[in-house]
Structure 1
Amino acid sequence: MTTRQLHFNLFLHDTGHHEASWRLPDADPHAVHDLAYHQRLARIAEDAKFDSVFLADSPALFGDVGRRPQGRIEPTVLLAALAVQTSRIGLIATASTSYNEPFNLARRFSSIDWISNGRAGWNIVTTAGDAAARNFGLEDQPLHRDRYERASEFLEVATRLWDSWEDDAIVGDKQSGVHTDAAKVHAINHRGAHFRVDGPLNAPRSPQAHPLLVQAGSSEDGKEFAARWAEAVFTATPTIEEARAFYEDVKRRTLANGRDPEHVKILPGIVPVIADTAVEAAELEAELDRLISHEYARRQLAKTLRVDPEDLPFDRPLPENLPGEDEIEGAKSRYTLIVDLARRENLTVRELIGRLGGGRGHRTFSGTPVQVADTIQEWFETGAADGFNIMPAVLPSGLEVFAAKVVPILQERGLFRTEYTGTTLRDHYGLPRPANTLVPAQV
């Protein structure tokens, strides 16, 4: 009988996921633009046998450039550079369906899959925020539901483009002078509400056929989208009860969409602060929290909650008259997560800022390697996760400690691989290679 094992994705983010990580004495404030830095982190994760690394992105400058590193390298470009410095670990990048076109993006991810020999993944986002909209000739962001409708049609087009070449289309017959069997390369002739695309793609079907499809929205629209399209889901669930409810909900929706729930891996984010003793871990966490710029953080929180900063006194709870989720056209699920966290634990604004500074609503905790491993095992074995989106509070040290001290514990318990057993990202996640939707199944 095959033993179920954890899946780990490393979320690479500047000098770490804690917003004050760049202010620590050993941090390099210029690391965000350093290719060698990213390559080193990817190799550490690969040596630890992680399934994948992941790069977030936004088509707008996010937040206050004066307060933390900004202006990252475009992620699909960076993935190409990581591909040549690694050999087995999966490579996932974020790209927006709101501010790209299906043909260009399908070709880009197909190219990464070829360059990496089958290790590409696409984190599909619809992109909230007016700042991004104004970079693409719009006054305001499209409505939440409209963004997801566009995203669904975007995926229909992209997947058909990836299928527009049959696997054996290239014959390379020198004697006959036939390089490619033209009858096995198909136009898609898509005509929809958002896109008109003839095809075929100007790239043959790649090693994985499609990149691994990842999704990170947790609103109602987001969960429905995940149930139809996603093969891995990144989610923020700060408590195990919320994680179990989310896990069960997405798996149920996946089954209702006619898909195998085992083919969707649920990966909550965790932000561990790890040290040899619990006291040392708590001291590091406290040092990071002390370095938070509270005034800046309050402005960011006010922007998320759609209120004025003056309405958020530091030492009082959130005001009662906040907008409901239905009134939010931005990141609905993150808005609800923040408000629910503050209400549930009766946090003051100052306390809430401290909780969000470490992981923006993801599960954060400090402890020893054994305590971290115990937490991961409990979530995994009690229906809260198929694995985790590992988000070290500080990089590279947080990753180094996790790889050197937490991973071996989980390997000894039989919960995590000691060697890769496949070569593609789909192999790592135990997912099948997609059948070609444009070719009748062979009987």
Structure 2
Amino acid sequence: MPAPLVRSPVHLAVAIDGAGHYDAAHFTALARLAERGTLDFVTLGDSFARPGLDAPAVLARVAPATERIGLVPAVNTTHTEPFHLSSAIATLDWVSRGRAGWSPEVSTTETEARLFGRRPAANAADAWHEAGEVADVAARLWDSWEDDAEIRDESTGRFVDRDKLHHVDFEGRTFSVRGPAIVPRPPQGHPVTVIDATAARPRAAAVRHADVALVRTQDPLSARTTRQELRDRARAHGRDPERLRVLGSVPVELHTTADAVELAALIGDWHAQGSVDGFHLRPADPERDLGLLVGATVPVLQHRCLLRRFYPGATLREHLGLARPVNQYALTGGSPS
């Protein structure tokens, strides 16, 4: 008889979005709760279409108050300078000691464009093409410092080895970046890129640039088909599909421990079918639902050996089983790949 199929434990992430919250303690408490449940990461949404705090800044505040949980803010690539974006996410990776990610999003409305006044609204196709270019140049900027570029030699007064700093010289459709970065290479090399790949245009960006692809579905067969498509398309772009994690992004609304146990059964069933690599859960009420998730769902999953009981690693890449990327400039002798 063939050997039974052995699957890795489930990856779990949770959204901690909540309108009307302007107190960092609120988000810190949610992130700590998710960390108590050994979840891989939390996501925090952001939008220019509504009032709210800046997601990368909030999670930079949460970082020193947590120890292991990954921190993934949404970042709008349409109206954010790529150089500033890459610096903010690299900074988040440093202050969290290697637990940062980012989730590219785009803006296509005139209302949001008028907030900045730099250019008219882009259509979805152009905005997502630009998002892909931003992901590309961000990776180049993170690599523009080699890992050992800092020398801090007090005797000579040299802070960096200039031979290990590299100009990016990137020309996109709507922007250009020379580089190098002003922030040293992040602890993870590249913070984790998380893209909601439900729709066609962001899916095209995900197969090229994402470490984690989110798929909004409540059907395990559809999820499995989409996962295979994403992996096949990633392979066609020269990527190793084993380095792409596909998470089902599902809404959850928990009122009792029975609901939390039912959720564990759903996660276990999808896992057994190989539909996804894990789940990104979107609570209706983060405080209530996350409390029940950690208090009831997580213990069931741990009892069934579907979820870790502790973090064996320290970085988000380690939580996800993803290798630290090789520096493309060091690998090619200083020329962009």
Contact 2:136–2:209 (8 Å) recurs in 1:
no
What residue in structure 1 maps to residue 261 of structure 2?
370
User: Shift of residue 239 of structure 1?
Assistant: 2.0
1:419 aligns with 2:292: no
* Helix, strand or coil at the partner of 2:286: coil
Contact 1:10–1:53 (8 Å) recurs in 2:
yes
1:113 aligns with 2:73: no
Residue identity opposite 1:72 in structure 2? G
TM-score normalised by L of structure 1 = 0.71
- Per the alignment, do residues 218 and 391 of structure 1 end up closer, same or farther by CA in structure 2, a change over 3 Å counting? closer
Contact 1:164–1:205 (8 Å) recurs in 2:
yes
Contact 2:193–2:211 (8 Å) recurs in 1:
yes
Contact 1:125–1:217 (8 Å) recurs in 2:
no
What residue in structure 2 maps to residue 8 of structure 1?
12
Residue identity opposite 2:31 in structure 1? A
Give the Cα separation in 2 of the matches to 1:391 and 1:184.
42
* Helix, strand or coil at the partner of 1:396: helix
Give the fraction of aligned pairs with identical amino acids, expressed as a percent. Answer: 35
What residue in structure 2 maps to residue 297 of structure 1?
none
Unpaired runs of at least 5, structure 2:
none
1:144 aligns with 2:133: no
Contact 1:209–1:433 (8 Å) recurs in 2:
yes
Aligned positions of 1:86-97 closer than 5 A: 86-97=66-77
User: Shift of residue 137 of structure 1?
Assistant: 2.4
- Per the alignment, do residues 115 and 2 of structure 1 end up closer, same or farther by CA in structure 2, a change over 3 Å counting? farther
Give the Cα separation in 2 of the matches to 1:150 and 1:420.
36
Match of 2:23 among 31, 34, 44: 34
Match of 2:284 among 368, 383, 393: 393
What residue in structure 1 maps to residue 46 of structure 2?
57
* Helix, strand or coil at the partner of 2:184: coil
What residue in structure 1 maps to residue 247 of structure 2?
267
CA RMSD of aligned residues (A): 2.0
Residue identity opposite 2:309 in structure 1? T
* Helix, strand or coil at the partner of 2:202: helix
Runs of 4+ in structure 1 over 4 Å off: none
Give the Cα separation in 1 of the matches to 2:306 and 2:23.
34
Give the Cα separation in 2 of the matches to 1:119 and 1:139.
34
- Work out the number of aligned pairs and report it: 329
Residue identity opposite 2:320 in structure 1? Y
Give the Cα separation in 2 of the matches to 1:107 and 1:383.
37
Give the Cα separation in 1 of the matches to 2:53 and 2:44.
10
Match of 1:130 among 101, 110, 134: 110
User: Shift of residue 258 of structure 1?
Assistant: 1.4
Structure number with greater CO (CA < 8 Å, separation at least 6) is: 1
Give the Cα separation in 2 of the matches to 1:158 and 1:438.
14
